[in-house]
Structure 1
Amino acid sequence: MKLLHTADWHIGRTLNGYSLLDEQKAAFKQIMAIALAEHVDGIVIAGDIYDRAVPSTDAVTTLDQMLQTINIEHHLPIYAIAGNHDGAKRLNYGREWLAHTDLYLNTLLAEAFTPIETPDAQIFMLPFFDPIDARVYYQKQGLPEQEVKAIHTINDAMDLVLTDLKQLFDPNKRRVLITHFTVTPKLDTELDLTSETTSKVGGLATLTTDQFDQFDYVMLGHIHTRLASPDKERMRYAGSPVKFNVKEANSKFHGKGVDIVTITDDAISREFMPIKPQTDLVALKEDWQTLIDPAFYQMQPLEQAWFAITVTNFDRSRHLNVRAQLQQIYGTIVELDYQDRQTTTDEQTTRKIDELSPDELVNQFFHSITGNDLSTDQQQLVDQILVDLRKEE
């Protein structure tokens, strides 16, 4: 069995107001060409299919055309899961009848406990979920109340989920997992690699490789570079097919592409297949004199790429119409920043709101108003309210 592993399409993404749909369509054409040339038996999309929970009309139309090309025109199975950017309930529409054309789509935790059975492997599809989803699910399964209330972190939830998945293992088949989380080596390490929310993976709530030891291969989504893969042989991030921000434009994040994963009775192997950007994103960080020096800028792909430029040692009082001057030289500039001589930048910023779990968000708001953290009783009340709200969705 041969599968193409891709992830983090983020259909509908923009870059500082510039639509990336044309770039995403161009990347998809290459993905499709690779799939056909390699004669794959299916395509895996490991989460973050859309860029937002309520995608635009153009994004929906674009994804619909892509899925039809794969599944209807070329009759290839699709194994797709929801990521943290996807609206799980909205994306879930039609999943039961889509499965009749071999378009398998899991967006809710409850759906993860029915693996896809092939002659060679069991494919487990575990979408992104948070601890509240797990509390709701296990409460419905009749787990004792005290054990449900003990689910506070993603590690608490994942340990329960993986224990239940392992009960479904067929010892005569390869076990493949598709999921969408931050996974790091077991060692307490901080990887300086990019995700869609932060440049410090170690700053996120992470899972560790040892939790997935009983799977033969894990296809990951969530981190946008394959260089973040926590186990080069057994656990792989596909990375995003398009560069989405300046961090991904840096040289060490070059190399967008997909993995071709071959599963046999004896082994699982993979081969990386590169994707060439239609319009590259180039990040430059230089002082003003360097940026306007022909000896420097003539070495750049002028009028062929998008540029994200940071002007260092910048004296604002000496320069006017900086963007206009640079655009005359470089063409499209999607981002322009300055580092003044008198200031320095601090990359250790406070956690973004979209990185906080719902209970953390409530606690942070409570602290900002009262100066105190939630008490144990208050925290339990918040937990129960959040569970009740999730049930109503």
Structure 2
Amino acid sequence: MRILHTSDWHLGRIFHGVHLTDDQSYILDQFVKLVGDTRPDVILIAGDIYDRSVPPAEAVKLLDETLSSILLDFGVPIVMIAGNHDSPERLGFGTRLLARQGLHLIGQLQGLTPVVLHDSHGPVYFCPLPYAEPAVVREILADPEAVDHERAMYSLVNRTVKTLPPDARKVAIAHAFVAGGEASESERPLSVGGTGTVDASCFQPFHYTALGHLHQSQNNGDNIRYAGSLMKYSFSESAHTKSVTLAEMDGTGKTALKEICLTPRRDVRCLEGFIKDILTGPQNGESREDYLMVTLQDTGAVLDAIGKLREVYPNVLHIERPHLTSGGELRGPGGDHRRLSEIDLFSSFFEQVTGAPLDDGQAGAFTETVEGLYRKEREARP
């Protein structure tokens, strides 16, 4: 069984004010060509198909064109689940009708059933585990023990596996943060008041687990794999090499993995140096059109720095001037504030304003409020 695993397309993404639809269309054209070249038996898309729960029309059109090309031109079945950025109800619309054409869209937990495909060795059970908050799992599965993401995942896995033949080849498609995974700035946290992580042991029953959520391609144990995002969605991902994963499963369930890299229309890069040196232009064959964050080492005044830089690099999106902030005092949790959680940032702010640390009750109220906002955002305006 040849399995092409991808995730985190984030269609409709806006990056520092730039709409990325054309860039996403460019990379998805490569993906469709790759499907034709590799001829997989199934494609798994492990969540965060869209960047928000109500995607813009151009993102919906791009997804429609991409999936239609795969199904009509190559006839490869697709199993696609909702991630934490997606609306489960919208993504799963028409799933029973579309499944007859080979497109299996799984957003909600009600009626979860494996997708069964066959090769020369027999059936393979593809088990969708779409993203769901613990409160939703508790309600739908009537499991009071599902109080956090890890126990909710155990509950979903146990419910799914008990319906399968014990010696069957099993593949999970899940959207989760497995403990030990390498995160980046562009991933929305799954939990405000806790880690939101699950242990890799949740997926022990499966021969292969196709994961989504983390944007860096990586393994998290034997046969547990993040394919990573198709594109770089933050400057913290500038060193990533984006790819999809081709998994080949034999008759015993043993899986061999291969990364297949994709080339974006524009790269996401970080430049650092003095402005006079940067203005000499790209080095080592790099493109002027790439999306750039520039860190200037100049200590003196630089008149219209972004205007000058954009004459050479038209897609400079962000400039940093470290010397302008190096003399300031960073209070609260140390390090880059962009890497801190909401609760850490608010705790620091609260202590600076009131002079007293945040107590457990106040922290709980803040966490409940922010998580409520995240839930509402899933069905919010575009």
* TM-score category (smaller protein): 0.7 to 0.9
* 304, 328, 334: which one aligns with 2:289: 304
* 240, 261, 264: which one aligns with 1:277: 264
**Counterpart for residue 247 of structure 1:** 236
Q: Deviations over 1:114-145 (max 9, x none)?
A: 11122331100100111111121123xxx5xx
Q: Check whether the contact 1:195–1:223 (CA below 8 A) recurs between aligned residues.
A: no
Structure 1, unaligned runs of 5 or more: 186-190, 357-366
Alpha-carbon distance in structure 2 between the residues aligned to 1:195 and 1:318: 30
**Counterpart for residue 257 of structure 1:** 243
Q: How far apart are 1:166 and its partner, in Å?
A: 2.2
Alpha-carbon distance in structure 2 between the residues aligned to 1:286 and 1:204: 37
**Counterpart for residue 166 of structure 2:** 171
SS in 1 for 2:184: coil
* 152, 156, 163: which one aligns with 1:157: 152
Alpha-carbon distance in structure 2 between the residues aligned to 1:244 and 1:20: 10
**Counterpart for residue 291 of structure 1:** 278
Alpha-carbon distance in structure 1 between the residues aligned to 2:185 and 2:165: 34
Q: Check whether the contact 2:187–2:214 (CA below 8 A) recurs between aligned residues.
A: no
Q: Check whether the contact 1:27–1:241 (CA below 8 A) recurs between aligned residues.
A: yes
Identify which range, 268-277 or 2-11, moves more after superposition. 268-277
Q: Check whether the contact 1:196–1:222 (CA below 8 A) recurs between aligned residues.
A: no
Alpha-carbon distance in structure 1 between the residues aligned to 2:44 and 2:303: 50
**Counterpart for residue 350 of structure 2:** none
Q: How far apart are 1:51 and its partner, in Å?
A: 0.5
Q: Does 1:117 align with 2:116?
A: yes
Paired letter, 2:186: E
Q: Deviations over 1:332-360 (max 9, x none)?
A: 2122222225427832554248x99xxxx
Alpha-carbon distance in structure 1 between the residues aligned to 2:77 and 2:291: 35
Which has the larger helix fraction? 1
Q: How far apart are 1:95 and its partner, in Å?
A: 1.0
Alpha-carbon distance in structure 2 between the residues aligned to 1:5 and 1:197: 19
Alpha-carbon distance in structure 2 between the residues aligned to 1:15 and 1:96: 35
Q: Check whether the contact 1:92–1:106 (CA below 8 A) recurs between aligned residues.
A: yes
Alpha-carbon distance in structure 2 between the residues aligned to 1:46 and 1:17: 26
Paired letter, 1:151: A
Q: Does 1:206 align with 2:197?
A: yes
| 1:29-40 correspondence runs (5 A) | 29-40=29-40
Paired letter, 2:206: F
Q: Deviations over 1:36-57 (max 9, x none)?
A: 1111112111100001000001
**Counterpart for residue 221 of structure 1:** 212
Paired letter, 2:224: M
* 110, 126, 132: which one aligns with 1:129: 132
Q: Report the number of matched residues.
A: 345
Alpha-carbon distance in structure 2 between the residues aligned to 1:192 and 1:285: 24
Q: Check whether the contact 1:122–1:170 (CA below 8 A) recurs between aligned residues.
A: no
Q: Deviations over 1:255-306 (max 9, x none)?
A: 21111111221322121111111211221133445434x3x74446242322
Alpha-carbon distance in structure 2 between the residues aligned to 1:66 and 1:342: 45
Q: Deviations over 1:24-77 (max 9, x none)?
A: 111111111111111111211110000100000111111111111112332221
**Counterpart for residue 4 of structure 1:** 4
Q: How far apart are 1:374 and its partner, in Å?
A: 4.6
Alpha-carbon distance in structure 2 between the residues aligned to 1:300 and 1:72: 38
Task: Output the aligned Cα RMSD.
Answer: 3.1
Q: Check whether the contact 2:282–2:288 (CA below 8 A) recurs between aligned residues.
A: no
Structure 1 residues 101, 197: closer, same or farther in 2, change over 3 A?
Answer: same
Q: Identity, % of aligned pairs? A: 26
Q: Does 1:323 align with 2:331?
A: no
